[in-house]
């Protein structure tokens, strides 16, 4: 009794099989390559998701700071406008047209 080779790749892809069916053997190699590329791209996307998540967190904090600054500026503008209109109504200053 002969012991067969248990390695699936070498048992499927020996030269005799390739010589008998070169199209099937080539398609088998292409399938292996596409599978590898799929797994590689998937892991790359996971790394990109992590890095982009960190960038989004930084940008969200910057947006919050800008929103607070905008609210303060808007409140200051409203207060200054109301003071000017009050002074104009009292006749203390001339209106700007």
Domain spans, the chain: 8-89
First to last CA, the chain: 108
Supply the mean pLDDT for the chain. Answer: 85
Rounded Cα gap, residues 95 and 86, in angstroms: 11
Asked whether the whole model's pTM tops 0.85, one would answer no
- What percent of the chain is predicted at pLDDT more than 90? 46
Tell me the pLDDT tens digit for each residue of 52-75.
999 999 999 999 999 999 999 999
* Contact of 13 with 28, CB cutoff 8 Å: yes
Instruction: Considering only residues 27 and 13, tell me which one the structure prediction assigns the higher pLDDT.
Output: 27
Helix runs in 1-97, H state only: 8-12, 15-20, 22-90
Does the pLDDT at position 11 exceed 60? no
At residue 1, the pLDDT reads 44
Q: Burial level of 63, CB count in 10 A (0-12/13-18/19+)?
A: exposed
From 41, 42, 13, select the one nearest 27 (Cα to Cα).
Answer: 13
Which range among 7-11, 20-24, 62-66 shows the weakest confidence by mean pLDDT? 7-11
């Amino acid at each position: 009794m002969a012991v067969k080779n248990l390695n699936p790749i070498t048992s499927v892809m020996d030269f005799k099989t390739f010589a008998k069916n070169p199209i099937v053997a080539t398609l088998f190699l292409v399938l292996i390559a596409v599978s590898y590329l799929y797994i590689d791209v998937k892991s790359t996307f996971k790394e990109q998701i992590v890095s982009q998540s960190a960038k989004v967190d930084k940008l969200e904090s910057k947006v919050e700071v800008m929103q607070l600054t905008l609210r303060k500026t808007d409140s200051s503008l409203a207060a200054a406008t109301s003071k000017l209109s009050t002074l104009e109504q009292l006749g203390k200053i001339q209106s700007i047209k």
